[in-house]
C-alpha cells in the first residue's frame, strides 16, 4: 500500500491575497491549537497581514472560525478522506474499512492533529452557539458519507450503522491522541466484526 502524501496546508504564499493568507494561517493555527485559545493576533502574525485586513474579510472571530470549519470539511472530509477511500477501493464495504487504512497512515505522521470537529465541540458547549451548530453539521455530513456507503453495501438501518461506524472513527482518533498509533487498526478489526454482524462479508479485513 502506498502511503498517502498529504500536501501541507500552512504555507503562506507571498503572492496570495489577504483573505487567502489569513485563511491558511487560521487553518493551521486552529487545527493544532484550537479555536478558543488561538486569537486573531496570532492569526494576523502568522499570515503577515494587518488586523484591518483580517476584519475586512472576516468581521468577527466567529466568522473566521466558521470559514475555517467550512474549509476543514472541504479539505479533510471531502478532498482527503472521502476522495482517498474512493480511490483505494471500489466496493462500499471495503471503502468503509479503508477509512481506517487512511487513518493508520495519518496517525503515523507528524501532521496528525486529531479531529478538529471534536475539539470544537468541547470548546463550544452552548447548544445555540453558531460555531457549535456548524460543527454538528460538519459531523453529520461525515455520517451522510457513511450512510451512503452503508446503503450501497445493502446494510439495513444505514443511519444507525453510520452512527456506529462514526463512533469507531472518533474513538480511534482519540486513542491515537493518547499515543496509541495502532488505534486505527484496532478500530478496523472492530469494523470487520460490525460488518459481519450485519451480514456483510468483510472484504479488505486486516487478515485479508
- Whether residue 205 is contained in a domain is answered as no
Distance CA 40, CA 45 (A): 8
| Among 5-14, 52-61, 123-132, the least confident range | 5-14
Indicate whether 46 and 73 sit together in one domain.
no
Q: pLDDT-based confidence at 2, cuts 50/70/90?
A: very low
Cell numbers for 120, please give them: 470544537
In terms of C-beta density within 10 A (0-12 exposed, 13-18 middle, 19 or more buried), how is residue 178 classed? Answer: exposed
SS3 71: helix
The predicted-structure confidence for 83-105, as pLDDT tens digits, reads as follows 999 999 999 999 999 999 999 99
Indicate whether 126 and 43 sit together in one domain.
no
Distance CA 29, CA 103 (A): 21
Indicate whether 37 and 114 sit together in one domain.
no
Q: pLDDT-based confidence at 30, cuts 50/70/90?
A: very high
The model's pTM is: 0.87
| pLDDT over 70 at 182, yes or no | yes
| pLDDT over 90 at 156, yes or no | yes
Is 186:175 a contact under the CB 8 Å cutoff?
A: yes
The predicted-structure confidence for 53-68, as pLDDT tens digits, reads as follows 999 999 999 999 999 9
Distance CA 130, CA 14 (A): 32
| pLDDT over 50 at 199, yes or no | yes
Query: What is the domain extent for residue 32?
Result: 9-59
- Whether residue 4 is contained in a domain is answered as no
Mean pLDDT, residues 180-198: 97
Q: Percentage of residues in the chain with pLDDT exceeding 90? A: 88
- Whether residue 141 is contained in a domain is answered as yes
Indicate whether 134 and 178 sit together in one domain.
yes
- Whether residue 40 is contained in a domain is answered as yes
Instruction: Look at the block and give the residue holding cell 501532521.
Output: 111
Indicate whether 34 and 86 sit together in one domain.
no
Tell me phi and psi for residue 43, to 5 degrees: -65, -45
Indicate which CATH number applies to the domain containing 18: 1.10.10.60
- pLDDT at residue 5 in the model: 44
Instruction: Look at the block and give the residue holding cell 502524501.
Output: 5
- The contacts of residue 158 (CB under 8 Å, 6+ apart) are 147, 150, 151
Indicate whether 32 and 81 sit together in one domain.
no
- Whether residue 73 is contained in a domain is answered as yes
Indicate whether 79 and 122 sit together in one domain.
yes
3-state secondary structure 80-126: HHHHHHHHHCCCHHHHHHHHHHHHHHHHCCCCCCCCHHHHHHHHCCC
Indicate whether 30 and 103 sit together in one domain.
no
Indicate whether 51 and 149 sit together in one domain.
no
Indicate which CATH number applies to the domain containing 126: 1.10.357.10
| pLDDT over 80 at 11, yes or no | no
Q: pLDDT-based confidence at 201, cuts 50/70/90?
A: confident
Number of domains in the chain: 2
Amino acid at each position: 500500500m502506498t502511503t498517502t502524501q498529504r500536501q501541507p496546508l500552512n504555507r503562506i504564499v507571498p503572492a496570495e491575497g489577504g483573505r487567502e493568507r489569513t485563511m491558511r494561517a487560521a487553518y493551521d493555527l486552529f487545527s493544532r491549537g484550537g479555536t478558543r485559545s488561538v486569537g486573531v493576533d496570532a492569526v494576523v502574525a502568522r499570515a503577515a497581514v494587518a488586523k484591518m485586513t483580517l476584519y475586512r474579510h472576516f468581521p468577527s472571530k466567529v466568522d473566521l472560525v466558521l470559514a475555517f470549519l467550512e474549509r476543514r470539511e472541504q479539505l479533510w472530509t471531502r478532498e482527503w478522506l472521502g476522495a482517498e477511500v474512493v480511490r483505494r477501493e471500489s466496493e462500499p464495504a471495503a471503502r468503509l474499512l479503508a477509512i481506517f487504512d487512511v487513518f493508520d497512515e495519518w496517525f503515523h505522521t507528524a501532521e496528525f492533529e486529531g479531529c478538529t470537529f471534536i475539539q470544537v465541540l468541547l470548546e463550544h458547549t452552548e447548544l445555540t452557539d453558531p460555531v457549535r451548530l456548524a460543527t454538528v453539521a460538519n459531523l453529520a455530513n461525515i455520517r451522510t458519507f457513511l450512510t451512503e456507503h452503508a446503503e450501497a453495501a445493502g446494510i439495513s438501518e444505514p443511519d444507525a450503522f453510520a452512527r456506529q461506524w462514526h463512533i469507531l472513527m472518533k474513538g480511534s482518533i482519540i486513542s491515537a491522541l493518547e499515543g496509541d498509533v495502532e488505534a486505527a487498526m484496532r478500530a478496523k478489526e472492530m469494523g470487520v466484526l460490525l460488518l459481519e454482524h450485519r451480514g456483510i462479508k468483510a472484504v479488505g479485513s486486516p487478515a485479508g
